[in-house]
Structure 1
Amino acid sequence: MRKRFVSLVLGAFTTAALLSGCSDSTSSNGADSGSESDSKEKYSISYSTWANPGEPAYSGMEKFKEIVEEKTDGNIEVELFPGNQLGATAEQMEQVKLGTIEMMSSGDPGMMEIEYLSLPYLMKSNAHWMHVMDSEIGKEWNDKLVSDMGVRNIGILPRGPRVISANKEIKTPEDMKGLKLRAPARDYYVQTFEALGSNPTPMDFGEVYSGLQTGIVDGQENPLETFHAAGFQEVQTYIINSNHMFKPAFVTINEEFFQGLSKEYQDILLEAAKESQAYSEEKLSESEQSMVEELESAGVTFVDPDIDAFIEATQPVRDSLGKEMWGEEVYQQIVEMGKADLN
C-alpha cells in the first residue's frame, strides 16, 4: 500500500511538471505569448554628450535613437543626455568604462593614438578620419580600446573644421605673432599655435566668452558651429578660415554591454551609427551657410588666409609628434591616407 501511495505521488509531480513545461513553452513561443518582439529581451541605453539640441552632432544622436528603437521594435530604448548633463567628458568616459552608462559621444576617443589624427592639416576631412579608422591601423586601435579600456568606438559624428577667431584680420602666420589665443591644453594644440607665432593660452571652455570680453585672451579656435552656439560673435569681429584641424566626435559604447547583445542587435547599432553619421553630415552642411549669413549680419568678417603658409609653418609639429606617437612607418601611412582622393 505504501509503495502504491509513493508511486501515485511521484506520478502527480511528473504530470504537474510536464503541464508546467507545456505552459512555459506556450507562453514564450505559442499563440498566447503575444508578438515576437514581446518575447525578446529588452535593453535600455543611456547615451550622453557635450552637444546641445539643435547642434548637428546632437541631431545625429536623435537619428540614432530613432533608428535603433524602430528596428528593434522598441526592445532597445535610447535615452539621450545632452549638454554634459552627466558630467564633464572625462567623467562620462569613466561612466562608460564602468558600464554606469552605455554610450557617449565626445571629442575624446579614449586613446592618444586616435586623437593625434587631429594634428594640424593631417586629415583633409571627416571622411579621411573614417578612412584611417576603417583601415587595419584603425582596427588595431579599436581592438586596443576594447582590451585596455573595455569600450569600443562604433563611429563618429562629424564636426566642422576648426577655425580661428580674433578682433584683427589674419592672413598669414606673421599676423598671429603675439596673439593670446585660447586653445585646449593638449600638446598638439599648444605646439600648433606656437608654430604659428601666437601665445596659446589654455582655458576652460566655460570661461572663454568672458576671457574674450575682458581681453584676457585675444582670440580662440573652434568649429564654426561652436563659435555660433557660444555667441562669440558678440565679442569677436573676424573669423579666419584656417581649417587647421578636423576633429569629429567619437561614438563610444561599453564593450560588455555591446557583447551582451545578440548579433542582430549589434548589427542594428552599428548600422544606426553609420546612418546617424550621414544624417549629421547633412545637417552640418545645411546649417553652415545659414550660420555664415547670420554671423555676417551680426558684423563678423570672414577671412581666407594663405593656407599654404599655415601648412608649411606647422609641418614640424606634424612630423615630430606624428613620428613620436606612431613611428616613422605608420606616420607615413597615415599621411597618405589623410590626403587620399576619396571620390
Structure 2
Amino acid sequence: MMLKKVLATALAGVMLAGLAACGGDKDTETASATAGAAGQNWRYAHEEFEGDVQDVFAQKFREYIEANSPHTVQVFRFGELGESDDIMEQTQAGILQFVNQSPGFTGSLIPEAQIFFIPYLLPVEDEQIVEFFRSSVAINEMFTELYAEQGLELLTMYPEGEMVVTADTPVRSPEDFRGKNIRTMTNPLLAETYRAFGATPTPLAWGEVYGGLQTNIIQGQENPIFWIQSGGLYEVSPNLIFTGHGQFTTAMMANQAFFNGLSAEDQQLVRDATAHAFDYITEYVPGLGDRMLEKILEASDQVTVTRLTAEERQAFMDRAPQVEARFIEMTGERGAALLEQFKADLEAVVGE
C-alpha cells in the first residue's frame, strides 16, 4: 500500500510538472479578460472514480462549457493528480482552475466547513436537502466569503447521498461501536462525532482504507452507498448500517485569481455551467443509493443491512449536542453565527 502511494505521488508529480511546463503561458492568457476566440483549456480535478457523482457533475460542467464556448475542460479523477489535499494545493497554486472537494477535507483549511459533520443536523430526505442547498443563505452567501479568504471562488455545494457506516459487525447502539477503530477523513469534528458515538476515530487517507479494513487495522468507515459500491468496500466491510446521521456534501470551486481574471462573459459561462451541472446532479442522486445497494446485494451474500429504528437512532441523536458544542468551540463567533443561520435555513425548508 505504501509503495502504491509513493508511485501515485511520483506519477502525479510528473503529470503536474508537464502541466506547469506547458500551461504557464496559457494560464496567464486565461486569467486575462481578453481570452479571445481561440479558447483556453481549463483543468478540473475531483475526488472520485469514473462514473461517480463528482465525475458526473464534472462531465456535465465540461459538456456545457464546450458546447457554449471555445474553451475546453480537462477532467482529472481520483488518484490521477494525488489525493484530496494534493488537488486542493494545486488549485490554490493555480495549477488547476477548478476543484471538487468535500468539506471533510476542506475542514482543516476552513474550520467552519466542518458544520456538515454535526450529526443529525442535515436531513437525509432527497427533496428537502436539494431545496436547502438551493436556498440556504449560509451556503450561498456566508460560505462564499469563507472560501474567498482561502483564495477560492465557491461556485456551488451539493449533496451526494446519505452517509452509511460499514463495519466488521452490525451496529445498533453506541455500545456496539466500543472497541472499533472507525476510519475518518482528516477532520477534527468528524473524529469528535465518532468519539461521541462510542467508537475510536482513526484518520486515514482514502488510498489506505480498503487495505486497512482488509487487515483489520480499522473495523469500519462511512461513505455514501455509491462510493461503498464503486470502491468495493463492502467486500472487506460487509455490514452496512443506516444511522441517518447526515448527508455527504461536496463543494465545487475555482481558483479565485483565475476566476477574477476572466471576462464578465466567461464568469457568467462558468456560473451557468455550474448551475446546469447542479440541476442535473440533484436529479441524478435521488434513488442512486437504492440502485447501488441492489448492486451490492447482488454481488455479495455476505452483506447485512441494518436500519436503525427511531428508538435506536435516538441513542445516537442524544450524543449530537456535544459535537455541536465542540464545533462552536473550534470556530468561535463566526462558527456560531454560521450555525444559527444554517439552522434557520433548514427550518425554512423542513420546519422545526
Where in structure 2 are the equivalents of 1:119-158 lying within 5 Å? 119-125=118-124, 126-127=129-130, 130=133, 134-135=136-137, 138-146=140-148, 148-158=149-159
1:249-277 superposed Cα distances (whole Å, 9 cap, x missing partner) = 21110122212222222112112112212
Unmatched 5+ residue regions in structure 1? 1-37
1:313 corresponds to: 319
Secondary structure of residue in 1 paired with 2:318: helix
2:117 corresponds to: 118
1:225, 1:291 within 8 Å by CA — same for their partners in 2? yes
2:4 corresponds to: none
Letter in 2 for 1:99: G
Q: Determine whether 1:341 maps to 2:349.
A: yes
Q: Distance in 2 between matches of 1:137 and 1:179?
A: 34
Where in structure 2 are the equivalents of 1:234-253 lying within 5 Å? 234-253=235-254
Q: CA deviation at 1:284?
A: 2.5
1:158, 1:277 within 8 Å by CA — same for their partners in 2? no
Where in structure 2 are the equivalents of 1:59-70 lying within 5 Å? 59-70=56-67
Q: Determine whether 1:205 maps to 2:206.
A: yes
Alignment match of 1:94 (pick from 82, 89, 96): 89
Q: CA deviation at 1:294?
A: 1.6
2:340 corresponds to: 332
Q: CA deviation at 1:324?
A: 4.2
1:7-35 superposed Cα distances (whole Å, 9 cap, x missing partner) = xxxxxxxxxxxxxxxxxxxxxxxxxxxxx
Q: Distance in 2 between matches of 1:39 and 1:164?
A: 49
Letter in 1 for 2:67: E
Q: Determine whether 1:83 maps to 2:74.
A: no
Q: Determine whether 1:218 maps to 2:215.
A: no
Unmatched 5+ residue regions in structure 2? 1-34
1:57, 1:157 within 8 Å by CA — same for their partners in 2? no
Q: Distance in 2 between matches of 1:162 and 1:273?
A: 24
1:165, 1:221 within 8 Å by CA — same for their partners in 2? yes
Q: Distance in 1 between matches of 2:186 and 2:92?
A: 23
Q: Which has the larger radius of gyration?
A: 1
1:273–1:332 CA distance, 2 compared to 1 (3 A): same
Letter in 2 for 1:155: T
1:124–1:259 CA distance, 2 compared to 1 (3 A): same
Could you state the TM-score of these two structures normalised by the residue count of structure 2? 0.78
Letter in 1 for 2:95: T
2:194, 2:200 within 8 Å by CA — same for their partners in 1? yes
Where in structure 2 are the equivalents of 1:151-190 lying within 5 Å? 151-190=152-191
Q: Distance in 1 between matches of 2:96 and 2:191?
A: 32
1:57–1:251 CA distance, 2 compared to 1 (3 A): same
2:268 corresponds to: 267
Q: Distance in 2 between matches of 1:204 and 1:278?
A: 31
Q: Distance in 2 between matches of 1:227 and 1:173?
A: 22
Percent identity reads 25
Could you state the TM-score of these two structures normalised by the residue count of structure 1? 0.80
Letter in 2 for 1:54: G
* Aligned pairs, number: 302
RMSD: 2.5
1:247–1:339 CA distance, 2 compared to 1 (3 A): farther
1:162–1:98 CA distance, 2 compared to 1 (3 A): same
1:281 corresponds to: 282
